[in-house]
Structure 1
Amino acid sequence: MVTDLGVVVCRRDGGAFGVWERPEGRGPEGAGVTLIDLGELRDEPGREASPPRPPRAVGRPLRVALALAFLVATVAAAAPLPARVAVVVPARLGSEAFLHGDRLYVVEPAEGEPEGTVEVRAYALPARTPADDAPPAPLWRTRIVAAGRFWQVQAGPGTALFSSTGDQDGQTVALDAGTGRERWRQPGYPWPDPTGILLMQTGGVEGGTVRSVDPASGRALWSVPTTGEGATYAFRDGLVEWIVLAPAKGRVEVRDPRSGALVHAADLGLGELPGYGHTVVAHDLLLAVRSSAGLVTAYELDGLRRRWEARVPMVEHVDECGGLLCAPGGNRLVALDPATGARRWDGGRWFGVLSAQDGRLLAVAPGGGGERFGVLDAATGREVADLGTWQMLPWYADERFLAVRPAAAGGGLVVAEMDVVAGEARVLDVLRDASGDCRSRAGTIVCRLRTGELGVWRYPG
């Protein structure tokens, strides 16, 4: 993880709200100067007397985790709190918590061991709140030497894959999902495919490799070299369909992710294009983004033939946004037709889209105290809802978007779900004992408590 730029929203003297800018960083701490006065927030769950203390609880490469916060109009219409499951997990300060599947993994420095040794504990996510407030027992615990700070956990077939920072390649340690026993470790960052393949990639200025490994042993099944630009994966229905190698100089290669076999190759002369910056893979296209020239050039992945070229002044990057391509740049958002490159609409101040659902887009824009989010109509780019600013937690495709902000009164954090289809930030809970350092996955959130322990809250779908 891995929270991004955000704001702190607190009640001021007299009952109004203020927004304080928070410096960019990975943690929840920090504040700057008051930026705006938001007035009063009414009818928020938990605004009356503080409720009983809840159980104590937890604190590609992903590419990006963003901050969302506070909307008066939407929160004022919040529904009653749903039933939720809560449990406290023992942890010391300095521990890290990771959610994946039906597991919570807690990583903290191992006592009495040399520096760099950590203890990893695996817990089953609770199905119900324990009646006696008893802490859960770990499924297993193990001690391993970490090359750096762990930043993500993914699940491979029968394994839990812990990725750490350290050198430019990072390192992945595979632990047996049933016992915690270390199976293997090797340089690189993993991408497990739901079909059972596991891709590992190393890189750097001088290049690296992308390889397929046996999840059980870590043995390389095949390997191909990469240039300094590395490899990009093209997806279809959540599966890796192609591996794309697109160097600035030399031939572009499209390879089969199951065998590593070369499927297509062509020298597109990308580095010779005026204003060339980088490439993106989206909608079965290889997109050459030419920022200084204000151009996007599209090539079909299936055959590497040039398809179209579109002029997008001040273009910064291009992403999929539902059935369109969204190209932000210069505090504006341009939507392109992936088939022709024709401009569908211009979204003005928005600079990115996080999700597309049922003809609506969750978009982000710069704001005075952080990022502000809104819901757009995918067909026209028209704004249909303003969700305000929340601290968005790391999310994954097709999962619920959970966000937090400081509670207006009584301390703790307000938890809300960003409902793109309904166009609202729906308040789910007020976590009175949570202090921050939160992560989420699907309908589960884990935050650091004021006591230093970790708390887990699960919200039925």
Structure 2
Amino acid sequence: MALIELGDVAAAGPPDPAADRITAGFDRRRSRPIALLAVLIVALACGGAVRPQPAGPRVLWTAPRTVEQGVVLAEDAVYVLTGGDRAEVIAYSIADGRRLWRWGTDAHLITIFPAPGGGPLLVVADPVAAGNPDGPAAKAARTTVALRPGSGAELWRRPGEPHLEAVERATAMLMEFDPRGGVGALTRIRLEDGVPIWRNGDREPVQEVVVETRDDRPHRVITATVAGDVTVRGYDDGARQVTRRLPPARYSARNSRLFGIAFDGERESTTVYRLDTLDELLRSETITDCGGVICAFGRSGLAALDPADGRELWRGPEIFGSVMTNDRILTEHRDGAEHVLLESRTGRPLSGTVHGYIARAQRWRDEVLLLRPTSDPIGRTAVTRLDLRTGRTSLLGSLEPMPDQQSCLTTPGYLMCTGWDRIVVASVPR
């Protein structure tokens, strides 16, 4: 709860008649310009000597929660989800904790997707939550309901569920599940009214849907069937670009590369394909996606490979990456409490050892917030900003103890930490 400072209330009393009395030989009208001039001189002197300090992080509001409730952070709101016979979503203003609206349903609430840039809130519900909610029949009945972020009023509803990597400010891609299992159709829609932009439905349901992003937006859609038929489509128009039968695997995509991870019962191996042709580029039991490079692990440590042709770029000791972008790797040591920022194409360190737990973000931009307990004074939470471009760190200040420094999320200007019994939201200087 915000605290409003009222000042010294005891000092405010009824006027003293003696204080307003004009004494003999003293002209207050002549003294006023002199007094104002003195005040002005003092103010200018103080202004030149004392520079205003930049505002540090501060707690804005807290709210109770239970471990059964889900909490989702958006750009300008915090959403709390409650299940049960009467599931509901409650929206709170991120700036001051005001409850904006409450939306309830008798269906089984699955999850929510806040659209960026002030777009609608997409709520996924299962109207026939009998039996296993993740079973084929229940998933086939899933429905997406779009709500206005400011009021909670319903805009539209459609069959299916949004793909996590395909929710933009103005459009989204919905996956419609097949009662036999898998995804029966993909539909890209306008968020303002739910009208389809394109729709694709194959005869055979696909078992996996992957979205490749470029410049922080969806670029291509990759689908894979049980038999191993992999198809690449453009996100904007849904047009098929290439199809090829590949060995069954679990897929991910980045930087025009498709990563297929297969397990034969004894060993796991990764195959890298070119997305434009689905030609095989690399295959190994020791490679993985490291953002702007491919990491190959061996007895001698780590080798960073060029995603374009597989050639070795640099070698170094084995690392664990906590944040990976197209040109940066933030390593992780000591159970996530220590980090070093590397330039991914060269392996050059851009920072020394940086301490703190990472506040997770939906999309990494040019910074990472790190939280760690303070030693002087004991018990507070220090907030440090790491610039991913330069490796420089800035101590922003400290906050009252957060519920769990390893369970914090961030969006530009704000930090949210959740514990088993409360939500804490703080402002963070940009």
Using the size of structure 1 for normalisation, the TM-score is: 0.64
- Whether the 8 Å contact between 1:400 and 1:443 is mirrored in structure 2 is no
Aligned residue type for 1:378: S
Mark the CA change 1:54 to 1:419 in structure 2 (over 3 Å): closer, same or farther. farther
In the alignment, what sits opposite 2:415?
445
CA RMSD of aligned residues (A): 4.0
Give 1:207-246 correspondences, 5 Å limit: 207-209=182-184, 210-218=186-194, 221-225=198-202, 229-246=207-224
In the alignment, what sits opposite 1:338?
307
Secondary structure, aligned partner of 1:339: coil
Distance 1:423 1:411 in 2: 27
Mark the CA change 1:227 to 1:382 in structure 2 (over 3 Å): closer, same or farther. farther
1:148 CA displacement:
4.3
Mark the CA change 1:454 to 1:252 in structure 2 (over 3 Å): closer, same or farther. closer
In the alignment, what sits opposite 1:160?
121
Give 1:283-294 correspondences, 5 Å limit: 283-289=255-261
Distance 1:429 1:407 in 2: 10
1:219 CA displacement:
5.9
Distance 2:239 2:82 in 1: 43
Aligned residue type for 1:282: R
Distance 2:370 2:105 in 1: 32
- Whether the 8 Å contact between 2:125 and 2:143 is mirrored in structure 1 is yes
- Whether the 8 Å contact between 1:172 and 1:185 is mirrored in structure 2 is yes
Q: In the alignment, which of 406, 414, 422 is matched to residue 373 of structure 2?
A: 406
In the alignment, what sits opposite 1:200?
174
Distance 2:143 2:367 in 1: 29
1:87 CA displacement:
1.9
Which one has a bigger Cα radius of gyration? 2
Matched, 1:261 2:239: yes
Distance 1:343 1:247 in 2: 33
- Whether the 8 Å contact between 1:447 and 1:455 is mirrored in structure 2 is yes
Question: Alignment length, in residue pairs?
Answer: 358
- Whether the 8 Å contact between 2:210 and 2:223 is mirrored in structure 1 is yes
Distance 1:349 1:164 in 2: 43
Distance 2:240 2:88 in 1: 41
Distance 1:330 1:219 in 2: 54
Mark the CA change 1:384 to 1:208 in structure 2 (over 3 Å): closer, same or farther. same
Aligned residue type for 1:443: G
Distance 2:192 2:302 in 1: 44
Distance 1:278 1:331 in 2: 28
In structure 2, runs of 5+ residues without a counterpart are 5-52, 127-132
Secondary structure, aligned partner of 1:376: strand
Distance 1:443 1:149 in 2: 28
- Whether the 8 Å contact between 2:2 and 2:61 is mirrored in structure 1 is no
Q: In the alignment, which of 249, 252, 256 is matched to residue 227 of structure 2?
A: 249
Using the size of structure 2 for normalisation, the TM-score is: 0.68
Matched, 1:301 2:278: no
Distance 2:298 2:152 in 1: 46
Distance 2:194 2:56 in 1: 42
Distance 1:156 1:329 in 2: 43
- Whether the 8 Å contact between 2:71 and 2:79 is mirrored in structure 1 is yes
Mark the CA change 1:229 to 1:318 in structure 2 (over 3 Å): closer, same or farther. farther
Distance 2:175 2:354 in 1: 38
1:445 CA displacement:
0.3
Matched, 1:87 2:60: yes
Aligned residue type for 2:183: G
- Whether the 8 Å contact between 1:401 and 1:417 is mirrored in structure 2 is yes
Mark the CA change 1:301 to 1:331 in structure 2 (over 3 Å): closer, same or farther. same
In the alignment, what sits opposite 1:377?
343
1:253 CA displacement:
0.9
- Whether the 8 Å contact between 1:233 and 1:281 is mirrored in structure 2 is yes
In structure 1, runs of 5+ residues without a counterpart are 1-52, 57-79, 127-134, 272-276
Using CA pairs below 8 Å that are at least 6 residues apart, which structure has the higher relative contact order?
1
